[in-house]
Amino acid sequence: MKIYKAILVDDEQSALKNLEKKIEKVNQNVRVEASFQDPKKALEYINTHQTDILFLDIQMPGLNGFELLNSIKELKSQVIFSTAYGEYALEAIKKNAVDYILKPVDNTELKEALDKAILNIEKENEDQNANLVELLNKIIDRDHKLKVPTQKGISFIPQEEVIHLEGYDGYTKIHLVDGKTLTSSYSLGKFSDYLDDYFFKCHKSHIVNIKAVRAFENEGYVVLGNDYRVPITKTYKQAFLELFS
């Protein structure tokens, strides 16, 4: 029998205890690994431990459920929101294959949410995480992080850490300031919709962070801070140079 690990986050201790008891009752394949009243401590745990299902309250002091979710380095869990409030775009969340349950928790709704989460895990459905990215982009954009769906889950990257995006065969390779790269099934055009103003498309397959530009070469290349040379086409050359005039 496969056991699925669950993490519970809610600022109310009674809600945590109640939810854990109900989970044990409706699905014996789900085991609560940890529960947290402090969302910041929960974030530290989530970023260092593997979990399958994450239960999140939305309205919490210090860090609400959306903000916590947006701060996770690499999201690999199925997310189920648990809240007493119905005004947080919950219908949009449910349509995007991320479930929610309203307090007080109903056993039938809880079982359905868990069954759905387990089904997504078993199907290894990357589209579900991609839909969550779309939802987060709509709900939380003020931190300007780039939501990057990968084979492992979702990475949330501060845009200032991105120096170059490279498109190829419908995929995008994202080059970071620390020399690491991420590869996503999102196309370059998909990412361009969410990039800040300091990113510049210099080629049909390349977008660069202007802050990382160190030189322009007459033969048609932009040199970035990591000495990486990116081609720039004549179409974009004049507009690029005007940025530095």
pTM for the full predicted model: 0.52
Q: Which amino acid is at 234?
A: K
Greatest Cα-to-Cα distance within the chain, rounded to the nearest angstrom? 69
pLDDT at 130: 60
Q: In the numeric block, which tokens belong to residue 108?
A: 């039938």
Please list the residues that pair with 166 across neighbouring strands.
Answer: 173, 206
Element holding 217 (H helix, E strand): strand 213-217
Residue 36 · residue 30 · CB < 8 Å = no
**Domain limits of the chain?**
4-137, 144-242
Q: What angle do CA 74, 78, 81 make, to 5 degrees?
A: 110
Q: How far apart are the first and last CA of the chain?
A: 65
Q: Is 105 helix (H, G, I), strand (E, B) or coil?
A: coil
* pLDDT at 119 (0 to 100): 85
Q: Please give the CATH architecture assigned to the domain spanning 4-137.
A: 3-Layer(aba) Sandwich (3.40)
Order the strands of the 171-176 sheet from edge to edge: 181-184, 171-176, 162-168, 206-209, 199-203
Full pLDDT tens readout for the chain, 245 residues: 789 999 999 999 999 999 999 999 999 999 999 999 999 999 999 999 999 999 999 888 888 888 888 888 888 889 998 877 666 555 446 544 467 788 889 999 899 999 988 888 877 655 555 666 666 655 545 456 787 877 777 788 888 899 999 999 889 999 999 989 999 888 898 888 788 888 999 999 999 999 999 999 999 999 998 788 999 999 898 889 888 87
Q: Is the peptide bond before 231 cis (omega within 30 degrees of 0)?
A: no
Q: List the CATH code of the domain at 144-242.
A: 2.40.50.1020
Structure tokens of 30? Answer: 């789900």
pLDDT number for residue 136? 60
